[in-house]
Chains A and B, each alone.
Chain A
Amino acid sequence: MSSQTSNGRWLVLLPVVSAIALTGLWFAGMPGTGSGSDSLVVYCAHDSVYADAILKDFEKQSGIRVDVRYDTEATKSLGLVNLIVSERQRPRCDVFWNNELLGTVDLQAQGLLEPHKGTGWNRLPEKYRDSDGHWVGFAARLRVQIVNTREDSADDEAVQNLFAFEPASVAVAKPLFGTTLTHYTVLWNEWGPERLKEWHHHLRLRGVREVDGNGAVKDLVAQGVSSAGLTDTDDFFVALDEGKPVEMLPVRVLLTPSPQPGEEGREAENKSEVPLTLALSPQSRGEGTKPKAEKKTESKTKTICIPNTVAIIKGTKRVEAARKLIDFLASAETELALARSKSRQVPLGPVDEAQLPDEVRRLKEWAADGVDLRSLLPARRECLEWLKSEYLR
């Protein structure tokens, strides 16, 4: 016993001392206290590798300290949306920088956002902002098909055939989260639930490689393990910068025109005849491939262009600082910085075109065809419920 009693005192003291040190550390870094009295709490679903530099610039320019909470790559954005919802009684987040749009629209629908029509809101097109100023979209990414070009060329028809007949050589991210969820929502809306479910089951039954994020899809295709996959432009550029043999094609969704009176029956008949090869774009019907086919089907197909969105959380005590951050993020400078970053995000508002990299100019053309995502919240909710029943049984 003596060995215990003699060092027993410091055994009790050590946790106490470490607890005091921890408390001090927490107080020093806690928003709203001490040196950080003006610090903004930002929940950020955007990749920290890109967002960090932007937020640091904001800190330098405004003198406002920012505390950021990031989500993981695998559960991008949805984790933070749910966190904000769960904290609605006692919000700790001031500004939410989402890397997609529908989650933010969901928060708006739940009355969790504070409107602000600032300089950023004014410069962005109608399609990428809320009319009441609850959120504003900026710097977008596109959903693309990434193709390994070591053996095959980046041909839209060939990729469609892979999806239709060799799903095992294709990689996709789990659609429960992030931009893949937005992609599924668009398909849910345009194709209807039945066709999306059929396509999804077809892919899974035939062994599609389902991974935990778009980054993993990019890796698989870049290394040649999978021949093609669905990912985002920023992930594609990571592979390209590493010198991997990859090429991208925009995901184009065939829009179903609103049926005219009396045409419902014919429409349904046509839909049922649509083969699974039409999963993503019309080119696989044999209408030819890009760029001719793109022009030919311009009116019928849309790309999936997903902007970052930023919003103020209702109940924040740092409204002024939050507004400053929103205006900063939605500014032309930030859009240009993100366009010139490794992620090559597409500016949505007017910017100096001469300063844009060539790749971004090409993406800008694709982004002009983007689906209007603002009205897709009901489709997203339904689609997510279905996906939950698929993956979380």
Chain B
Amino acid sequence: MSLASACLWTLARTLVICLVAWPVCAAVERWLRGLAEERRSVALIGLLAPFCFPELLVGYAFRDLAMFHPQWAELLCSGLLFVRVVPVGAVALLMAPPPECDAAAIHCQRMLLARVSHPSQQFDLWRCYWHGPIKRALPALGLMAVVAFQEFELAALLMTTSWTDWFVAAERVGLARSEMLRQAAWPLVMQLPVLIGVVSWLGHVGWTPRPSESRAEGGTDGASILRGRGRIVPRWALAYVLMALVVGCVAPLSLLGWRTIEGLSWLARQRTQQMGLLREMVISMAVSACAGLTAWTVCRRVMTMTQLAPAGLARRGRVGLGWVLVTGLLPGLLGSLLLSLGAVTLFQVSWLRPLYDTPLPWVLALTVWLLPRAAVLQLWLDAVRPSEAVHLAEMLGGSGMSRSERQKPPHPSPLPAKPGRGDKAKDKGKTKNEAGTMTPFTSTLCPSTFNPQRSTLLWRLRDQPQFLAMSLLCYWAYCDLPTAYLLAPTGMAPGLVRLYNFMHFGRSAALSAEACLFFGGPIVVVAGAILVGRVWRR
């Protein structure tokens, strides 16, 4: 199949998946909004688990099924992709700012249209739809399309058609770089409109001021309008999440399950094999930690600047910052395969060649690839972080904090606030300081002695979510195959490539065990770090 045909095939698959997944995303998002805070966290973990589950492991587990029933391979690949894109769509919807034109406005416009049937009124109704549900839905659909279109490992292991396959083959056959870059125009052109839309949305979400009204309780958001008047039964959404968990996580694990145990007992007797695997894991962890943390820090800095920009900058300055954001995030949104191919080309330029055989290209490509994900995660954290509670926790004990810091207002989140029950009480508790600004009275009362509960509280409210988000970012880097495959230097053999290599030989007990250890290792490390931290604080 030619590249053009492969691109079109992938595009068609992407469109079908997005269209089919969209109602599910809307239903899941509505269900999530209706949940209490604690339950929502659990539900989100369940929803996101299939997206965060290593693709390589999923592809490996289902490879035999696809191979022995080739007629179902495409359906299987699409189904697994469906399970991966729904969380993306649902979370993007959840994060989206409220529509400029809500359900009430559309309803009013409709009523008006029923009385005055004028073409301009009809146009206004369509404008309402555009500024309401459609504008809200597009970024979520865009992100879903990007995830589905850039799929690499699943398509490769399930042997379905994908444009990514073409590039891997071309790279290996040694197609001229100029020809490769010329051919890269196909997937680029197909993705670019969506990518620009997604990036501009990210920028928009990043500096949209927080409106005072809540979207959480009204139920008059765009998604509900898109759904019409029909009511979505929350049980369906719950059933979907459970089904996705089974298909995306439980089934792959159980498909590998019994052989993994057999393989683990074999591995326990192979000391050389253990040491090799451990070395590969340490290398991958170091690279992913470096890239993930760099991406996080860079993103935090840039977003802080852009969030502060509207107050201090003129329109021209904001546009400039917007372009910085676009140019920073766009390469990452192209996907790790195209990015890695670009990095290989770049680092083979004569003056960069000395750096080619170092971990720098690998780390750099991973960092750039992670930037959009870091941006989404940070927006998400800002949206769900209880800023007031964090601020109050920081006031507790006041250790190590200057008076001016204590008097600062809590950090304004870019996303709409959930009205807290304590809002009124908080306002009552405010006093005027010397400068005349309002500060919580706790800051005026707090003693300068150390409060041991403060660190625990701050960890729970502020640091733990951040730590988990950073860990997730690093884990994505850890699981990314194309960068490791194309950019790892000699002497730093990434385990991922070796496992991918063996996965083409079919399933074996030893391989299943190694794969489970490789992918499970970082999770154990993060869980261990949290546990140790908890014990240490006590």
Contacts and interface: CB of A to CB of B under 8 A. Distances in A.
Q: Do A and B bind each other?
A: yes
Interface string B440-466: 000000000000000000000011001
A176 B70 CA distance: 22
A25 B485 contact: no
A157 to B, nearest CB: 27
Interface string A16-55: 0011011101100111000010010100000111000000
A292 interface: no
Interface stretch (B84-92, B166-174, B206-214): B166-174
B371 interface: no
Nearest to A53: B272
A279 B373 CA distance: 52
A25 B492 contact: yes
Contacts of A90: 353-354, 356-357
A220 B68 CA distance: 7
B491 A31 contact: yes
B433 interface: no
B286 A25 contact: yes
B390 interface: yes
Interface string B350-372: 10011011110001000000000
A23 to B, nearest CB: 8
Nearest to A26: B359
A64 interface: no
Size range of the chain A interface in the assembly: 35 or more
Contact of B289 (A18, A71, A78, A209): A18
Contact of A18 (B169, B293, B358): B293
Contacts of B489: 26, 30
A337 interface: no
A158 interface: no
A392 B283 contact: no
Residue with the greatest number of chain A CB neighbours at <10 A, chosen from B289, B293, B411: B293
Interface string A260-298: 000000000000000000000000000000000000000
A2 to B, nearest CB: 5
Q: Is the interface of B mostly helix, strand, loop or mixed?
A: helix
B383 to A, nearest CB: 14
Contacts of A299: none
B129 to A, nearest CB: 38
A15 B294 contact: yes
A19 B294 CA distance: 9
B490 A11 contact: no
Nearest to A72: B501
Interface of A: 1-8, 11-12, 14-15, 18-19, 21-23, 25-26, 29-31, 36, 39, 41, 47-49, 56, 67-75, 78-79, 81-82, 85-86, 89-90, 92-93, 174, 176-177, 209, 211-213, 215-216, 218-220, 223, 225, 238, 384, 388, 391-393
Interface of B: 2-4, 64, 67-68, 70, 156, 159, 166, 168-175, 272, 282-283, 286-287, 289-290, 293-294, 296-297, 300, 304, 348, 350, 353-354, 356-359, 363, 385, 387, 390-391, 394, 400-401, 405-406, 408, 410-411, 462-463, 466, 485, 489-493, 497-498, 500-502, 504-506
Given A79-B171, A218-B506, 9 more contacts: A8-B300, A22-B290, A26-B358, A69-B490, A78-B172, A176-B172, A211-B159, A223-B67, A384-B173
